Chains A and B, each alone.
Chain A
Amino acid sequence: MPDTAAIAEPIIRISGLTTRFGPQVIHQDLDLDIARGEVMGIVGGSGSGKSVLMRAVIGLIRPASGRIEVLGHDTAHLSDAERQALRAHWGVLFQDGALFSSLTVAQNIAVPLREHSTLPRSVIADLVAMKIAMAGLPADAASKFPAELSGGMRKRAGLARALALDPEILFLDEPTAGLDPIGAARFDELIGDLKRTLGLTVVMVTHDLDSLYAICDRISVLIDKRVKVGTIAELMREPDTWIQEYFRGPRGRVAEQAATRRGQPQGERPENERNGGGDSRSDGDSR
């Protein structure tokens, strides 16, 4: 198993995390480090607690025990002001965008800007227009309401809102679920591009094997209330039957072949990527 302790300066460090709902234990003594600048995929069977893990990190669920450090701050022991300040350092894209249905796309994206800055309206409007363009939405989407958008566009709008404050960490909950394969591939590309240009650290819960191959540097597999972490190549060497079935099952093989055809030799994924860090920008064109 790859040694996660090797990461020098993790942007997120989870140690000894236990979460439970009533008597049901979701995570037990879970340790996970996420390096600055990497794309970390979180996978696992249904009900294995992928989303719960993400929610625990962003503070929507209080863990039963354990320590979660984000950007060096222990999230359990923060004053309200500190927690508020820390929240501006991450953006979250929920499954169906979670846009406020009574606001237009532009107003949705302006919400965090209004809340956390003192910029005048016209500047905010321009920044919103830029974020909309960055998320790959047409300019006329700005004045539409979430109900008028397709699923893919809602996700892009949600992404634009998550990026509104230029977060360092981006959390994505099943970003490609419910998208057609073309839309999903475009979304993967978008995440990859944004990560490189903005130097983001991305944590994504996903079921999409193609996304894993396309953009994830490392993957955490939730098994038996803990995680096994590594690159796809490393994980493939794990004896665990779930992992074997996941990556070597019919769908896993197809995704691998597709990735290989795109000229992405998964087997020898560069080792330096494991350490994440600033290098991730430079290998952008290897995809």
Chain B
Amino acid sequence: MSKTVDAPQVAAVRDGDSLTISLVGAWTTQRMGPAQAKLVDMATVGARRARIDLGGLAALDTAGAWLLHQTLQRFREAGLEVAVDGADAAAVSLIETAGKYDTPHPPPPRRENPLAAVLLRLGRSTIEIGREARNLLNFLGLTVIVLLGSALRPGRIRGTALISQMEQTGLNALPIVGLISFLIGVVLAYQGADQLARFGAQIFTVNLVGVGVLREMAILLTAIIVAGRSGSAFTAQIGTMKVNEEIDAMRTIGLDPMEVLVMPRVIGLMLVMPLLTFYADIMGLLGGAVMATVTLDISFVRFARQLSEAVTLWSFWIGIIKAPIFAFIISLVGCYEGLMVTRSAESVGRQTTRAVVEAVFLVIVLDAMFSILFSVLGI
């Protein structure tokens, strides 16, 4: 192996107007790094003849051959008489080959004006966002039509797929949704108690936890977890099928991907999300109650009594009403981005990221709009 071969060296001897250059060692891609500059920079001023002695060459590959070819060409262009000595047949043919394939490398791409580049990117992404919004709106319409069609003919809903989706998105999400809601209940109670204690109003911690969890926290956190967990899964599942041409195969068999893939996911998530939210409500309140007992000495019974005074049934319904709507948005975006996957594995990843970001964004925007709506309605 190359370790045993000598390091490449170049030596030049000047004798009047003739220049003798001898190369020794291994002139290969891996070895010639340090020595090559000497050959590249070799001055030929004043010389008329150049003799290149390759007798001491231990190894030569295409990189070395290319360098020799370049050097020979440079010498010839400088008007020197060039002779190559001591090269074996293989080296000669390799230098020839290198000469045959020698092509100047294309110049590096021109760098754009940074300001123009920024504007260009801004413009492009604005158009892109507009196009995305329009397509998503189209898809929303299509989904609603198919959804209404399914409602008119419930027999066409794929039962097995629906149940399986409900299991994956609902039942399997219980541990993580429960844990997060519980912890949020704990955090709300703790922070609330800290602040309210200054006014001696610790008992209102219960109000804070009750209203906060029921109206906002439980549904919002559930939606965000579901978007990260199931929305991304929808995109990845449908996207992988798209890469595999399974969607095309479905269409040729006469199956509608909207009915087979999108409907079970949308309906399933819409059915499951209110249940998940209810569960998150319970766990959040439980977290608050546990914290209240531990730090504020408010017993469970007192917590419950205070809660029933602080919270109206509407607080609970406001959380639950949002659930199917958020579920619809999350599954819609997930399925849409899955269907937008092109035939490369890379785009599955890209679309999945996009699905999660868009779903979370839309959920929070909708939540803000709900808040305004409810405050206008005075609920």
Give chain A's interface residues, CB within 8 Å of chain B. Answer: 71, 73, 85-86, 88-89, 101, 106, 113, 116-120, 122-123, 125-134, 139-140, 142-143, 147, 164-166, 197-199
Q: Are the CB atoms of B106 and A143 closer together than 8 Å? A: yes
A166/B63 contact (C-beta < 8 A), A89-B1, A120-B37 known: yes
For the residues of B in contact with A, the DSSP-based class is helix
User: Shortest 3 CB-CB distances between A and B: which pairs?
Assistant: A118-B33, A166-B61, A129-B105
Q: Are the CB atoms of A101 and B346 closer together than 8 Å? A: yes
Chain A residues near B102: list those with CB within 8 A.
126, 129-130, 133
Chain B residues near A120: list those with CB within 8 A.
37
Q: Are the CB atoms of B103 and A132 closer together than 8 Å? A: yes
Q: Mark B89-107, 1 if CB is under 8 A from A, else 0.
A: 0100110011001111110
Q: Are the CB atoms of B66 and A130 closer together than 8 Å? A: yes
- Which of B9-17, B24-32, B272-280 is found at the contact surface with chain A? B24-32
Q: Are the CB atoms of A119 and B90 closer together than 8 Å? A: no
Q: Are the CB atoms of A127 and B93 closer together than 8 Å? A: no
Q: Are the CB atoms of B101 and A127 closer together than 8 Å? A: no
A197/B97 contact (C-beta < 8 A), A89-B1, A166-B63 known: yes
* A164 to B1 Cα, complex, angstroms: 18
Is B73's CB within 8 Å of the partner chain A? Answer: no
Is B34's CB within 8 Å of the partner chain A? Answer: yes
User: Closest CB-CB distance, B263 to chain A, in whole Å?
Assistant: 32
Chain B residues near A71: list those with CB within 8 A.
1
**Nearest A residue to B102 by beta-carbon distance?**
A130
Taking A119-B33, A127-B66 as given, write out 8 further A-B residue pairs in contact, using a Cβ cutoff of 8 Å, ordered by the A residue number: A85-B1, A88-B30, A125-B105, A126-B105, A128-B105, A130-B103, A166-B29, A197-B93
Is B315's CB within 8 Å of the partner chain A? Answer: no
Chain B residues near A128: list those with CB within 8 A.
105
User: Closest CB-CB distance, A106 to chain B, in whole Å?
Assistant: 8
Is B244's CB within 8 Å of the partner chain A? Answer: no
Q: Are the CB atoms of A117 and B29 closer together than 8 Å? A: yes
Cβ-neighbour of A165 out of B29, B32, B97, B106 (below 8 A): B29
Chain A residues near B97: list those with CB within 8 A.
197-198
A117/B33 contact (C-beta < 8 A), A130-B66, A166-B62 known: yes
Q: How many residues does chain B have at the interface if contact means C-beta atoms less than 8 Å apart?
A: 32
Q: Are the CB atoms of A147 and B344 closer together than 8 Å? A: yes
Q: Are the CB atoms of B98 and A130 closer together than 8 Å? A: yes
Q: Using a CB-CB cutoff of 8 Å, which residues 65-94 of chain B contact chain A?
A: 66-67, 70, 90, 93-94
**Nearest B residue to A101 by beta-carbon distance?**
B346
* A125 to B104 Cα, complex, angstroms: 9
A126/B104 contact (C-beta < 8 A), A85-B1, A166-B28, A199-B90 known: yes
A119/B32 contact (C-beta < 8 A), A125-B105, A142-B105, A143-B109 known: yes
Is B251's CB within 8 Å of the partner chain A? Answer: no
User: Closest CB-CB distance, B22 to chain A, in whole Å?
Assistant: 21
Cβ-neighbour of A139 out of B34, B40, B93, B106 (below 8 A): B106
Chain A residues near B34: list those with CB within 8 A.
118
Chain A residues near B29: list those with CB within 8 A.
113, 116-117, 119, 127, 164-166
A165/B30 contact (C-beta < 8 A), A126-B66, A127-B66, A133-B103 known: yes
Is B306's CB within 8 Å of the partner chain A? Answer: no
Chain B residues near A131: list those with CB within 8 A.
62
Chain B residues near A117: list those with CB within 8 A.
29-30, 32-33, 63
User: Closest CB-CB distance, B250 to chain A, in whole Å?
Assistant: 24
Q: Are the CB atoms of B37 and A129 closer together than 8 Å? A: no
Chain A residues near B3: list those with CB within 8 A.
85
* A196 to B151 Cα, complex, angstroms: 70
* A126 to B99 Cα, complex, angstroms: 12
**Nearest A residue to B99 by beta-carbon distance?**
A130
Is B2's CB within 8 Å of the partner chain A? Answer: yes
- Specify which of B37, B63, B94 lies most central, judged by the most chain A CB atoms within 10 Å of its CB: B63
Is B36's CB within 8 Å of the partner chain A? Answer: yes
Chain A residues near B93: list those with CB within 8 A.
197
User: Closest CB-CB distance, A167 to chain B, in whole Å?
Assistant: 9
Cβ-neighbour of A129 out of B2, B28, B40, B104 (below 8 A): B104
User: Closest CB-CB distance, B64 to chain A, in whole Å?
Assistant: 9
Chain B residues near A197: list those with CB within 8 A.
93-94, 97
* A88 to B29 Cα, complex, angstroms: 10
* A88 to B70 Cα, complex, angstroms: 25
Q: Are the CB atoms of B106 and A133 closer together than 8 Å? A: no
A134/B66 contact (C-beta < 8 A), A117-B33, A142-B106, A199-B90 known: no
User: Closest CB-CB distance, B287 to chain A, in whole Å?
Assistant: 44
* A89 to B109 Cα, complex, angstroms: 33
* A133 to B103 Cα, complex, angstroms: 7
Q: Are the CB atoms of A129 and B346 closer together than 8 Å? A: no
29 A/B residue pairs, CB under 8 Å, sorted by A? A71-B1, A73-B1, A85-B2, A101-B346, A116-B30, A119-B29, A119-B63, A122-B105, A123-B67, A126-B70, A127-B29, A127-B62, A128-B105, A129-B102, A129-B104, A131-B62, A133-B101, A133-B102, A134-B62, A134-B101, A140-B106, A142-B105, A142-B106, A164-B29, A165-B30, A166-B61, A166-B62, A197-B94, A197-B97
